[in-house]
């Protein structure tokens, strides 16, 4: 086959088809501008749609300001342990207090009470539940509020012959707010100490 019979055409010099330093500098500047503009136009990062937990709206009730349903004669009461936390999920903390008569000697039985603030926020705290009544003849070794539950170690006596200052029975107890009341969820399995 013969080479084409087309005459060689004289094409104009196309300067823009050759890359030179000025061409690369202009391209780099244009790319930097595109990246910068894209950075300003990105959407905000996504956030989780779950609501934040309610912050506590008030301080926990002070058991020193409460009146407890104890019959102590003229000796008064003493708070031996206390713990606070939101037990019913309303955003306001409650206080759990272990209270006994201030007898001066021996170990009188304790009661464990749940305190809350009045609805209008004025006045002393009020007792809304009794978890352990003094008539159960228990003392309180530990008391805590964790994960909306009250836990306690209760100390008692295996017989009337055991001295009141030396309890020989220990049991764990746990209460949680369910269905409008405190439900004891740990069985009272007593152990001798």
pTM of the model: 0.66
What local confidence, expressed as pLDDT, does residue 12 receive? Answer: 54
Which residues does 85 contact at the CB level (< 8 Å), separation at least 6?
Answer: 60, 93, 94, 145, 146, 148
Residue with tokens 């088809």: 17
What local confidence, expressed as pLDDT, does residue 178 receive? Answer: 93
Indicate the DSSP class of residue 72: -
Cα(156)–Cα(168) distance, integer angstroms: 6
Residues 75-94 as b/e (b if ≥16 CB within 10 A, e otherwise) read eebbbebbbbbbbbeeebbb
Cα(63)–Cα(130) distance, integer angstroms: 14
What local confidence, expressed as pLDDT, does residue 40 receive? Answer: 65
Residue 129 pairs in a beta bridge with 114
Q: Give the closest residue to 60 by CA, choosing from 81, 87, 80.
A: 87
Other beta carbons within 10 angstroms of residue 109's beta carbon come to 20
Residues 148-180 as b/e (b if ≥16 CB within 10 A, e otherwise) read ebbbbebbbbeeeeeeeeebebebbbebbbeee
What local confidence, expressed as pLDDT, does residue 82 receive? Answer: 97
> Is there a contact between 154 and 122 (Cβ–Cβ < 8 Å)?
no
What local confidence, expressed as pLDDT, does residue 49 receive? Answer: 47
Mean pLDDT in order along the chain per 10 residues (193 residues): 53 57 70 68 54 59 93 90 94 95 83 90 90 93 95 93 87 94 74 51
Cα(60)–Cα(67) distance, integer angstroms: 16
Residue with tokens 């950075």: 39
What is the DSSP pairing of strand 149-156 with strand 77-85? unpaired
What is the DSSP pairing of strand 181-184 with strand 149-156? unpaired
């Amino acid at each position: 086959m013969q080479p084409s019979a087309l005459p060689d055409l004289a094409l104009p010099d196309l300067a823009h088809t050759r890359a030179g330093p000025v061409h690369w500098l202009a391209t780099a500047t244009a790319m930097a501008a595109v990246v910068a503009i894209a950075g300003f136009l990105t959407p905000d990062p996504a956030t989780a749609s779950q609501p934040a937990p309610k912050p506590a709206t008030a301080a926990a009730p002070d058991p020193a300001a409460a009146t407890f349903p104890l019959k102590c004669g003229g000796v008064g009461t003493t708070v031996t342990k206390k713990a606070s936390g939101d037990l019913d999920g309303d955003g306001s903390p409650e206080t759990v207090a272990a209270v006994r008569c201030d007898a001066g000697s021996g170990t009188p039985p304790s009661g464990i009470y749940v305190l809350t603030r009045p609805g209008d926020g004025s006045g002393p705290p009020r007792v809304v539940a009794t978890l352990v009544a003094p008539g159960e003849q228990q003392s309180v070794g530990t008391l805590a509020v964790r994960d909306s539950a009250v836990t306690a170690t209760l100390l008692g006596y295996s017989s009337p012959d055991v001295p009141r200052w030396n309890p020989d029975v220990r049991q764990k107890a746990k209460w949680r707010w369910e269905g409008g009341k405190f439900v004891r969820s740990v069985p009272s399995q007593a152990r001798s100490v």
